[in-house]
Each structure stands twice: as structure tokens, then as C-alpha cells.
Amino acid sequence: MAPSALSAADVRSVLARAMESTAVLAPVRRGRSSFAFQWIADPAEAVFSYPRTILPPKQALLPPREDLFVFQRAPEPAVRPPAAPDPITLFGVHPCDLAAIGQLDWAMQERHGICDPNYAARRAHTTIIGLECLPDEYCFCPSVGTAHTRAGADLFLTPVGEEFVAEALTEKGEALLASAGEKRAPSAEARDTWEHWAEDKESRVSRRLKAQPKELPDLLEAEYESEVWEATAARCYSCGTCTSVCPTCFCFDVEDVVEVGLASGARRRQYDSCQFLEFASVAGGHNFRGERPDRVRHRWFRKFVHLNREYGDAFCVGCGRCTKFCTADIGLVEVLNSIVEASE
């Protein structure tokens, strides 16, 4: 499908069209210098250029807290699945976050041959409008091969000057694009910028992983006892920010709750974090990772050893959130590189 040109006003009409039949999650400004995905009430709220949001679009597919089912005691005992999810549109999803949704799809729908029904129900009713970006100092998408991901998007936009080059990648994307009116071809200049975007993007990335993702399992395992874990833990608060903001982390905790009137309740799932003190504590009181360095090491091993082997690639998309939002300024790539250097 040949790319077409959209003005910013056209993109807002595409959003308005999406809002007629779906809830739309889009990046908006938050505070002084931050951005967050938020359910918008007006296309004008969405921003078209942002470095990264605090939480990834994961929040729409695997919410921080959700009820897996609800039950009631009165008037008669009954268990009900959650209401069917409303269709949603995710707007402004960067290539790294598209790649992350692909990884989450595997984790939540295919891994171990188990499909999570709540995730799958939301995912089946999701339309995605991707948005090209330029990296900042936290990004390392080229090191994990996600800089140019399009898979997952129905419509993909590249901002070129004041305009956008739009690619419809699915029928849903075609329909959205059609809502902007008569198609027009991008100017020769816009097309030129669009064609050279990939190399320009790569050339701007300064954070680089000093190994291939496929080499990491062996490298890390050889450094299981490295002092890097202790040194990193000395800075770590175990606050769980890195896992909450990670677009590919999917660990959760499940608890049965009953409201104080005892008439109804729910089986509730919420994000958990391998960094929390009690994450690996089990019945009888034993905690497998009661020491902070063990928890810190686990995070790197989980993403770059265990899931890397199981999935066939690093379970990380280079978005830079864990580093940008780390309350102690711990750098994910820096830790990996110090392991790589130690093994040289």
C-alpha cells in the first residue's frame, strides 16, 4: 500500500473517527516534563511528539489492577466473569512499544500453551495507531532490534515536518485512513525524509549494548557471582518502578477480596514486582530472594537469560523507561555492559 500524507488536522479527524466507536488511549502531557497514556475525551488532548510515557500502553491490555471474576452471596450465590471489554484504540504507540505488545501477546496468550482470557478479550478488540519517533539519551532500541517495528500496528504514522506519512497496515488501518478524506500522496521531500528515517534514527542512538541479545544468556550466567549485583543493589530501593513501567514485565499477584458488607467480592489481579521484598516468600516463611542483590540479579536474568532462551530474544524492547524512571538512576544497559566487560 502506497503511503499517503496526512496533516495534523487529518490525524485529529482519524482520532475523532476512532472515538466514535472505541475508547482511545493516547499520550498526553503530565506535569512539568512528563507524558502519560490516558483515555482521552477530545482528540486535541493527544500529543504527537513525546519521548516516552510513564506507563507503557500495556496498561490498556494488562491493567495495573483488574477483577478476573466477581461473585455475589446475595440474593443468591453467583459467579460472573468480568463484563466484555469495550473496543479500544491505542494511539501514538512507538515502535519499541509495538514490539513490546508483540512480546506480551506471546507471554499472555501463547506461553506454556495457556491463553489468559482477560488479556485475550481486550487484545482482540484493540486497534493500534503507531507513531514513529526519534530517540533520546535513554533509548537503545537498535541494540534489541525494535527500532523499526511496524508489526501490531493497524495504521502507522511518521511525522515529517508539519505533516505525517501514513501507512495502512491492515483493513482496520485502511478504514481509519479513509476517515481522513481523499487520499493524497506525500510530497517528494516528505517521502525522502520518510525513506531515510530509519538510518537517521539509528545514527542518533548513543546508548548501545556491547553484546548481541543472543549472547547474553551465557554471558550473564558466567557472571552469576559478579560483584555487579551487589554494587547495583547498594543503590536500589526495591521500589518496583522498573517493573511497573516496563512494557514487557507481566508478573501479577492474585487476591480474593470481599466488600465489607459481605454481599459481593472479586478475584483481583494486580501488578507484582520481583523487586519487592515479599515477592519470592512462600508458605512457611522462607524467602528465596530475601536479599536485595538476589532480587536485582533476578531482574536481569529474567529478561536476558530465562525469557531470552524461552522466547528466543531478549525480553526487553529498549524503550529506556526503567532507566529514565528509576528512582535511583540505575541504568539497565550500563549494568549489562559492565557484565559484558567483566567477561572479556
Partner 1 sequence: MAEKPRIAFFDFACCEGCQLTVLGLGEPLLKLLERVEVVTWREAMSERSDDFDIAFVEGSITRDSDIPRLRRIREQAKVLVALGTCATLGGPHVSANNCDRGELLRLVYGGEGAQFEAGEVRPLSAVVQVDAFIHGCPINGDEFLTVANHLLLGKAYHPPSRPVCHECKLNQYECVLDRGQICLGPVTRGGCDAICTSRGSQCFGCRGLVDDPNLNAAREVLAEHGYTVSDIIGMFDIYSLRSPAAAEARETARQDRGAIEKGAEPWRSR
115: helix, coil or strand? coil
Kindly state whether residue 32 participates in binding partner 1, applying the rule CB under 8 A. yes
CB of 109 or CB of 287, closer to partner 1: 287
Q: CA angle, 127 as apex, 135 and 191 as ends, to 5°?
A: 50
| CA proximity to 70, closest of 59, 62, 82 | 82
Residues that bind partner 1 (rule: CB under 8 A) add up to a total of 37
State which of residues 81, 181, 327, 341 lies at the interface with partner 1 (CB under 8 A). Answer: 327
Compute the least distance from the CB of residue 232 to partner 1, in Å: 11
Kindly state whether residue 253 participates in binding partner 1, applying the rule CB under 8 A. no
Do residues 163 and 5 touch, judged by C-beta distance below 8 A? Answer: yes
Kindly state whether residue 34 participates in binding partner 1, applying the rule CB under 8 A. yes
Helices (H), the chain: 8-21, 58-61, 95-105, 117-124, 171-178, 188-195, 197-204, 216-222, 227-233, 241-245, 292-301, 307-311, 321-324, 332-342
Q: Which three cell numbers stand for residue 285?
A: 516463611
Q: Which residues, listed in sequence order, are joined to residue 180 by a DSSP beta bridge?
A: none
- Strands 88-93 and 126-131 turn out to be parallel
CB of 16 or CB of 36, closer to partner 1: 36
Kindly state whether residue 236 participates in binding partner 1, applying the rule CB under 8 A. yes
Q: Which stretch binds partner 1 (CB under 8 A): 53-61, 115-123, 191-199, 296-304?
A: 53-61
Kindly state whether residue 250 participates in binding partner 1, applying the rule CB under 8 A. no
| CA proximity to 339, closest of 249, 209, 246 | 209
CB of 273 or CB of 338, closer to partner 1: 273
Q: State how far the Cα of 61 lies from the Cα of 82, in Å rounded to an integer.
A: 14
Kindly state whether residue 140 participates in binding partner 1, applying the rule CB under 8 A. no
Kindly state whether residue 232 participates in binding partner 1, applying the rule CB under 8 A. no
Cα pseudo-dihedral 19, 197, 200, 132, rounded to 10: 10
State which of residues 149, 241, 308, 338 lies at the interface with partner 1 (CB under 8 A). Answer: 241
Do residues 311 and 248 touch, judged by C-beta distance below 8 A? Answer: no
Q: State how far the Cα of 248 lies from the Cα of 92, in Å rounded to an integer.
A: 18
Q: Which stretch binds partner 1 (CB under 8 A): 40-48, 72-80, 160-168, 324-332?
A: 324-332
Do residues 291 and 95 touch, judged by C-beta distance below 8 A? Answer: no
Compute the least distance from the CB of residue 71 to partner 1, in Å: 15
Compute the least distance from the CB of residue 276 to partner 1, in Å: 5
Kindly state whether residue 115 participates in binding partner 1, applying the rule CB under 8 A. no
**Eight-state DSSP code of residue 233:** H
CB of 194 or CB of 325, closer to partner 1: 325
CB of 164 or CB of 250, closer to partner 1: 250
Q: Which three cell numbers stand for residue 8?
A: 495534523
Q: Which stretch binds partner 1 (CB under 8 A): 51-59, 158-166, 177-185, 311-319?
A: 51-59
CB of 180 or CB of 236, closer to partner 1: 236
Q: Which stretch binds partner 1 (CB under 8 A): 105-113, 117-125, 231-239, 311-319?
A: 231-239
Kindly state whether residue 271 participates in binding partner 1, applying the rule CB under 8 A. yes
Kindly state whether residue 71 participates in binding partner 1, applying the rule CB under 8 A. no
Q: Which residues bind partner 1 (CB under 8 A)?
A: 30-34, 36-38, 53-55, 64, 234-241, 244-245, 258-262, 271, 273, 276-278, 292, 325, 327-329
